[in-house]
Amino acid sequence: MGRLVINSVSKKFNDFLALEDVNFEVEDGEFVCLLGPSGCGKTTVLRLAAGLEEPDDGFLCLDGKKISGVNKECGFVFQEYALFPWRTVKENIEFGPQVKGKTSLECERISKHYIDLVGLSGFENHYPDELSGGMKQRVGIARAYANNPKLLLMDEPFGALDAQTRNLMQSELLRIWEKEHISVLFVTHSVDEAVYLGDKVVIMSARPGKVKEIFDVKLARPRIRTGPEANIIRDRVLKSLVSEIKIASKPGQ
Amino acid sequence: MKIQTGKKGLIINLLSLIVFALLWQLLVILARKDSFNIPFIRLRDIPTPVETWIALAGSMFIQIHGPGFTYGIINHVYASLQRVIEGGIIAFIIGVPVGIGVGYSKLLRNLFNPLIEIVRNMPPMAWIPLSIFIFVSGGSIFIVFIGVVFPIILNTVQGVKSTDSRLIDAARTLGASESMIVKKVIIPSAFPSIMTGLRIGLGVGWMAIVAAEMVIRSPVGLGYFIWNMGDLGRYSEMVAGMIVIGVIGYIMNISILLLQRRFIKWGD
Query: How confident is the model over A52-105, as pLDDT tens digits?
Result: 999 999 999 999 999 999 998 999 999 999 999 999 999 999 999 999 999 999
The pLDDT, as a whole number, for residue B1 is 47
Shared domain check, B176 and B146: yes
pLDDT above 60 (res B68)? no
Residue B242's CATH number = 1.10.3720.10
For domain A1-73+151-165+181-253, which CATH number applies: 1.10.3720.10, 1.10.12.10, 3.30.465.10, 3.40.50.300? 3.40.50.300
The pLDDT, as a whole number, for residue B39 is 83
Q: Does any domain span residue B268? A: no
pLDDT above 80 (res B96)? yes
Check if A16 contacts B (Cβ < 8 Å). Answer: no
Check if A68 contacts B (Cβ < 8 Å). Answer: no
pLDDT above 70 (res A41)? yes
Three-state DSSP class for residue B220: coil
Selection from A11, A66, A73 nearest residue A44 by Cα? A11
**Are A99 and B173 a contacting pair at CB < 8 A?**
no
**Are A82 and B177 a contacting pair at CB < 8 A?**
no
How many residue pairs bridge chain A and chain B with CB atoms within 8 Å of each other?
A: 65
The share of chain B scoring above pLDDT 90, in percent, equals 64
Shared domain check, B38 and B163: no
* Closest approach of B164 to chain A, Cα-based (Å): 8
Shared domain check, B139 and B110: yes
* Closest approach of B264 to chain A, Cα-based (Å): 8
**Are B169 and A76 a contacting pair at CB < 8 A?**
yes
Say if residue B39 is preceded by a cis peptide, omega within 30 of 0: no
Q: Does any domain span residue B94? A: yes
**Are B170 and A82 a contacting pair at CB < 8 A?**
yes
**Are B166 and A78 a contacting pair at CB < 8 A?**
yes
Cross-strand pairs, A205:
A210
- Confidence class of residue B69 from pLDDT cuts 50, 70 and 90? low
* Closest approach of A57 to chain B, Cα-based (Å): 22
Mutate to test the interface with A, among B162, B169, B173, B262 (most CBs of A within 10 A): B173
Shared domain check, B234 and B101: yes
Q: Could you report the per-residue pLDDT of B184-242, keeping only the tens digit for each? A: 999 999 999 999 999 999 999 999 998 888 887 678 899 999 998 898 889 999 999 99
In chain A, what residues touch B176 (CB-CB under 8 Å)? 95, 99
State mean pLDDT over A158-163: 90
More confident residue, B13 or A42: A42
Three-state DSSP class for residue A59: strand
In chain B, what residues touch A147 (CB-CB under 8 Å)? 174-175
Shared domain check, B24 and B56: no
Q: Are A79 and A36 in contact (CB under 8 A)?
A: no
CA gap B153, B93 in Å, rounded: 11
Cross-strand pairs, A74:
A151
Q: What global pTM score does this model have?
A: 0.85
Of residues B166, B175, B176, nearest to A80 (C-beta): B166
In chain A, what residues touch B170 (CB-CB under 8 Å)? 76, 78, 82, 84, 143
Say if residue B114 is preceded by a cis peptide, omega within 30 of 0: no
Three-state DSSP class for residue B199: helix
Sign of CA dihedral B24, B28, B29, B35: positive
In chain B, what residues touch A144 (CB-CB under 8 Å)? 173
Of residues B184, B189, B264, nearest to A99 (C-beta): B184
Three-state DSSP class for residue A181: coil
Residues near A103 by Cβ (< 8 Å), separated by ≥ 6?
A: none
Shared domain check, B96 and B201: yes
Mutate to test the interface with B, among A46, A70, A94, A148 (most CBs of B within 10 A): A70
**Are B174 and A128 a contacting pair at CB < 8 A?**
no
For residue B224, the enclosing domain spans: 47-263
Shared domain check, B178 and B58: yes
Cross-strand pairs, A202:
A34, A214
Residues near A14 by Cβ (< 8 Å), separated by ≥ 6?
A: none
- Confidence class of residue B44 from pLDDT cuts 50, 70 and 90? confident
In chain A, what residues touch B193 (CB-CB under 8 Å)? none
The pLDDT, as a whole number, for residue B66 is 56
What is the number of domains present in chain B? 2
CA gap B261, B268 in Å, rounded: 10
Burial class for B212, CB neighbours closer than 10 Å (0-12, 13-18, 19+) = buried
CA gap B153, B197 in Å, rounded: 7
- Confidence class of residue A242 from pLDDT cuts 50, 70 and 90? confident
Rounded mean pLDDT of chain A? 91
Closest chain B residue to the Cα of A91, Cα to Cα: B184
**Are B172 and A75 a contacting pair at CB < 8 A?**
no
State mean pLDDT over B46-67: 81
Closest chain B residue to the Cα of A94, Cα to Cα: B174
The pLDDT, as a whole number, for residue B260 is 86
Of residues A78, A82, A99, nearest to B175 (C-beta): A99
Interface ipTM? 0.90
Shared domain check, B147 and B255: yes
Q: Does any domain span residue B106? A: yes
Of residues A52, A100, A153, nearest to B172 (C-beta): A52
Selection from B144, B154, B166, B251 nearest residue B193 by Cα? B154
Q: Does any domain span residue B234? A: yes
The last residue of a domain, from among B28, B46, B64: B46
CATH 3.40.50.300 in chain A, residue ranges: 1-73+151-165+181-253
Q: Does any domain span residue B12? A: yes
In chain B, what residues touch A76 (CB-CB under 8 Å)? 169-170, 173
Q: Does any domain span residue B220? A: yes
In chain A, what residues touch B182 (CB-CB under 8 Å)? none
**Are A143 and B185 a contacting pair at CB < 8 A?**
no
Shared domain check, B153 and B58: yes
Shared domain check, B76 and B13: no
